[in-house]
């Protein structure tokens, strides 16, 4: 269970570290081909996880281009797959929520002496609710994901077995009660994470 959290939390941190700045940047700049890029990102938000897993497997496989890393069937491979699944979600949601911030506000802040950077940070802070929703969505999509982590993690007992893959195994074994118990833990974790974030939103609103 802690492994589930560990994998998902590290994947989410990476996704946020990449996705939030990229999403903010995309929201605030205009360039050629942006529509195409947007369409790509929205497609990425719905990437089939198993396909992501397959591609990551092919890359990390001993006969693949990144085989030398020896990441296959390790936590790292799972994190990579989850980052690929969650990042477009974080980028997309960050982008649309930063875009929803009144553009006049940024100009107004510039007129109060904000540097471009400070105004951008302020816009991101304004969009915090949306960004948090994006992170929650990303978290939900990867903690409950099974196909990709099964493929690249291998569901190795004590190493890469996470809640979802354990549920699959126990179901296959016919231990429906154990599978269900694990499923409940999974749900509880999701719920707890979401609750904490929602509470965080409440705190932010009061500040």
Residues 32-61 that bind other proteins (CB under 8 A): 61
- From the list 51, 110, 124, 136, which residue makes contact with other proteins (rule: CB under 8 A)? 110
Answer yes or no whether residue 73 interacts with other proteins by CB under 8 A.
yes
Classify residue 139 by its DSSP letter: H
Q: What are the Cα distances from residue 109, in Å, to 20, 56, 114?
A: 21, 43, 6
Answer yes or no whether residue 195 interacts with other proteins by CB under 8 A.
yes
CB 89 within 8 A of CB 134: yes
Closest distance of CB 85 from other proteins, Å: 21
Q: Which stretch binds other proteins (CB under 8 A): 5-13, 34-42, 87-95, 189-197?
A: 189-197
DSSP code string of 84-126: HHHHHHHHHHHHHHHHTS-HHHHHHHHHTT--HHHHHHHHHHH
**Crossing angle for the helix pair 128-143 and 176-206, to the nearest 10 degrees:** 170
Contacts of 6 (CB under 8 A, 6+ apart): 75
Q: Which one, 41 or 146, has the nearer CB to other proteins?
A: 146
Residues found near other proteins in the complex (CB under 8 A): 1, 61-64, 67-68, 70, 72-73, 102, 104-105, 107-115, 118, 122, 125-126, 154-157, 159-160, 169, 171-178, 181-182, 184-185, 188, 191-192, 195-196, 199, 202, 205, 207
């Amino acid at each position: 269970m802690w492994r589930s959290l560990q994998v998902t939390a590290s994947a989410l941190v990476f996704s946020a570290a990449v996705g939030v700045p990229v999403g903010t940047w995309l929201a605030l700049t205009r360039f050629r081909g942006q529509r195409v890029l947007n369409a790509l990102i929205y497609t990425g938000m719905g990437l089939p996880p198993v396909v992501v897993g397959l591609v990551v497997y092919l890359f990390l496989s001993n006969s693949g281009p990144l085989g030398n890393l020896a990441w296959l069937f390790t936590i790292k491979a799972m994190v990579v797959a989850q980052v690929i699944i969650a990042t477009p979600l974080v980028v997309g949601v960050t982008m649309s929520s930063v875009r929803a911030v009144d553009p006049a506000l940024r100009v107004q802040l510039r007129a109060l002496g904000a540097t471009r950077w400070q105004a951008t940070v302020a816009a991101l802070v304004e969009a915090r609710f949306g960004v948090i929703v994006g992170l929650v969505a990303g978290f939900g999509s990867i903690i409950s994901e099974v196909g990709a982590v099964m493929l690249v993690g291998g569901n190795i007992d004590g190493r890469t077995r996470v809640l979802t893959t354990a549920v699959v195994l126990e179901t296959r074994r016919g231990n429906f009660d154990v599978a269900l118990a694990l499923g409940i833990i999974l749900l509880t974790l999701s719920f707890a994470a979401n609750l904490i974030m929602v509470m965080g939103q409440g705190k932010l609103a009061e500040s």
